[in-house]
A and B are shown apart, each in its own frame.
Chain A
Amino acid sequence: MGHDEYQVHEAKILTPSFIVLLTLTLIGFALIALRFIKGIGAVSNMSDGYPWGIWITYDVATGTAIACGGYAMAILIYIRNRMHYHPMIRSAILTSMFGYGLAGFSVMVDVGRPWNAYNFFVPSKWQVNSAMFEVAVCVMAYTTVLIMEFLPAILTTLEKTEWKTLQHMLDLIYGRLGMERPERIGDRLDKVKELAAWARPRLDKVLIFIIVLGITLPTMHQSSLGSLLLIASTKLHPLWHTGFLPLLFLINCMYIGYSIAILESVISCYAFKRPFETKELSGLARIIPFLTVIWLCVVIGDLAWRGQLGKALSFDFYSCFFLLEFCLIASGSLILFSKRRRESIRWLFSSAALIVLGGALYRFNVYLIGFNPGKGWHYFPSLAELMITVGIVAFEILGYQVLVKILPVLPKLHTRDQHTAAHPMGEKA
């Protein structure tokens, strides 16, 4: 489980998908600029009845669950001691880092007075009754932790780099200016290399404590994301408003996490033309049904206990969304119970997609669809509001695409082949 498990994906950066994603990102960011100039009302359909729209529902509540791949993988590898999944962790952490970083960023777009956000660091302003305080502090801490967890990939690269592109560019710039490139730049670049070489083994020594912190924090704030809606007892439909919200959100983020790790691996192997990681994925897939079954049992048990089962089957607007969410998760899990299907990339992909969809729909149901502030209020996201979200997601994918091509993130191909053999740890001598 050293740094030799990973490799840089050697490929061109400027691909057609890069251009498309860049365009979407730029549109999104232009609209964000508009939001800061003209106010939130100018770009969004949010209202005093629906103060939280698609930004909070998707970018934050659902996005962080989708970014739980790193969390789910860390539990599997370090706590359940399945070290042979270790080669998959870096790409999981990278996506988590993007997911969380950009969730934090969209919160700053969403809140009305972001310049006051420093109050989260002022102890006299701390309001420990607020689930949101807990979420905010944990998310900020976890984003920092994710960056530290990802740091080894950056440090190894810094250590080994010859700065060829940078030197080339500098030569070009100084050439244009008609000057010689000063010596001290080279010295400084060497200093960076030395610093990276000094820092990396030291970071490695404490990394496990950071990783464990990276497991504790999501456990805390993912459940608190559920707690956020506990207060809305008069507005959230009884199908979803329950004291079990924190527990349901916690389990929900775990099965989404594993499912997204599967999706990510399949998609990136397909896109980067690498062999599929079938063996690892079918192993991952075995865990998911256990989690979803617990989740479904809590949901049904809780509904029965609160006497709301009739509402779930009444086939009205709310019931339909509830049943859709339920069926998506249940059917995805059902597929994964079969060993034969778990070993087929197609089935793995479709079941993971069903579970991610269902799990995400659950969060949409809690935050938006099941939320009813009273007569006269309606909400459907505006085009600009959607485009900002699309822009942020595009930026996430763009960043992932670029970073795997310049940093050692993806599992090394030859070690992977050995991992698929009976020997779980692989021998790389």
Chain B
Amino acid sequence: MGKPSRRQFLKIMGATGAALLAGKQAKANEGHKINNETIGMLYDATKCVGCKACMSACKRVNGDYGSLSYERAKFDTDGLWDAPEDLSGSTRTLIKLFKQSEQEWSYVKYSCMHCQKPSCVSVCPVAAMTRDPETGIVDYNKNTCIGCRYCQVACAFNIPKFQWDRALPQIVKCDLCKNTNLPKKGISACAEVCPAGAIMFGKRKDLLEEAEKRLRENPGKYINHIYGANELGGTNHIYLASMQFNKLGLPTLKDAAPAEFSEKIQHTIYKGFIAPVALYSTLCFIALKNMKKHGGEEGGHDTNTDKGGHH
């Protein structure tokens, strides 16, 4: 074999590239690769004082964006008191308190986890849910959304919320202040205002490094687990806490992303649209053959006399 031709060269390069990629992917779970350059938040439950400044800031900054309004408690008609029970169509982040006993308790912050392989993005039929490949922000576009609520069915954290009480409803979830605080100040509003330093905002790799450092330096203080590091293929919102995460309302999850599983099956069935086309042509072939047997008619009009002759 002499000098490799151009085609061979490309082939070799392609194969090498694929092998390299495959090798890299093999390390990550289920063939999907975690990108640690994306941004997210580290919430340290042991530092949180439960002041709810983050909730308040979130509502202030995002109140107008996406036609949200402040949620008002039912007893509070004057709007002096904002006391959401849970994440909802007007609350994107929430602080809750878990009390094991008078001595043992922990705050916990809920919001979108910004998954590395988000189920909501995978299932949205019209691409209203998107994940920015650069920042990793999982965002929602109300101008595309049809309101099917499949994202709610798909999300293992039950995060996307729907405005059930509105004639023109939308899905509501944290978008890391993508259009509000982030472009202005380079940080999400909740992280910006946290007085206790419980929310750290930054690149995922820095957050993980910091979390690992805190675990290393404070033995016994934390549960030895970074929640979100690997859950469902990794999330960009990660947690440290002194109590079991499932007690804080964070579900115990496997490392595999559900979207990997469902997409694999869906794509196997519809790969290159070969199966449906093959099915259609095979069925056409059989049906036409069968029609011919019955008098060579295609739609079957005025075949009665023909058939009389056949039999």
Contacts and interface: CB of A to CB of B under 8 A. Distances in A.
Interface string A338-375: 00000000000000000000000000000000000110
B20 interface: no
Contacts of A111: 146-149
Contact of A113 (B142, B154, B263): B142
B262 A3 contact: no
Contacts of B160: 48
A122 B141 CA distance: 15
Contact of A207 (B161, B164, B300): B300
B153 A232 contact: yes
A37 interface: yes
B280 A231 contact: no
Contacts of A119: 126, 128, 144, 146
Contact of B259 (A41, A231, A373, A423): A231
A227 B264 CA distance: 11
B162 A112 contact: yes
Interface string B281-302: 0011011101101100111111
A52 B151 CA distance: 11
A7 to B, nearest CB: 14
Q: Classify chain B: how many residues form its interface, as a range.
A: 35 or more
Contact of A206 (B119, B153, B169, B299): B299
Contacts of B290: 78-79, 81, 83
Interface stretch (B103-111, B234-242, B303-311): B303-311
B298 to A, nearest CB: 5
Interface in B39-77: none
Instruction: Determine chain A's interface SS by DSSP, over half rule.
Output: helix
Contact of B123 (A41, A107, A129): A129
B266 interface: yes
A126 B170 contact: no
A39 B261 contact: no
A36 B168 CA distance: 9
Contacts of A232: 153-154, 258
B284 A212 contact: yes
B13 interface: no
Contacts, number: 226
A261 interface: no
Contacts of A51: 149, 152-153, 162
Contacts of A1: 294, 297, 300, 303, 307
Nearest to B301: A204
Nearest to A124: B127
Interface in B216-258: 251, 253, 258
Given A39-B167, A125-B126, A243-B261, A134 B291 contact: no
B125 A132 contact: yes
B283 A112 contact: no
Interface in A230-246: 230-235, 243, 246
Interface residues of A, number: 83
Contact of A230 (B142, B146, B156, B261): B261
Nearest to B273: A128
Given A113-B146, A125-B126, A428 B280 contact: no
A228 B307 CA distance: 45
A416 to B, nearest CB: 14
B291 to A, nearest CB: 6
B265 A127 contact: no
Nearest to B287: A78
A2 B165 contact: no
Contacts of B287: 78-79, 208, 211-212
B158 A216 contact: no
Interface in B124-152: 124-128, 142-150, 152
A2 B304 contact: yes
A390 interface: no
B269 interface: yes
A226 to B, nearest CB: 10
A101 B283 CA distance: 25
Given A40-B164, A206-B298, A223-B269, A127 B124 contact: yes
Contacts of A243: 261, 265
A2 B125 contact: no
Contact of B125 (A120, A220, A223, A427): A120
Interface string A29-71: 0000000111111101011110110000000000000000000
A203 interface: yes
9 contacts: A37-B167, A78-B291, A112-B163, A227-B269, A230-B258, A231-B261, A231-B262, A235-B156, A429-B308
List the 4 shortest-distance A-B pairs measured between CB atoms, nearest first.
A112-B147, A204-B299, A41-B164, A51-B149
Interface of A: 1-4, 36-42, 44, 46-49, 51-52, 78-79, 81, 83, 86, 107, 110-114, 116-117, 119-120, 122, 125-134, 136, 152, 200-201, 203-209, 211-213, 215-216, 219-220, 223-224, 227-235, 243, 246, 373-374, 423, 425-429
Interface of B: 86-88, 119, 122-128, 142-150, 152-154, 156, 158, 160-171, 251, 253, 258-259, 261-263, 265-267, 269-270, 276, 279-280, 283-284, 286-288, 290-291, 293-294, 297-305, 307-308, 310-311
Given A207-B298, A231-B154, 6 more contacts: A39-B163, A112-B171, A113-B142, A114-B146, A132-B125, A425-B311
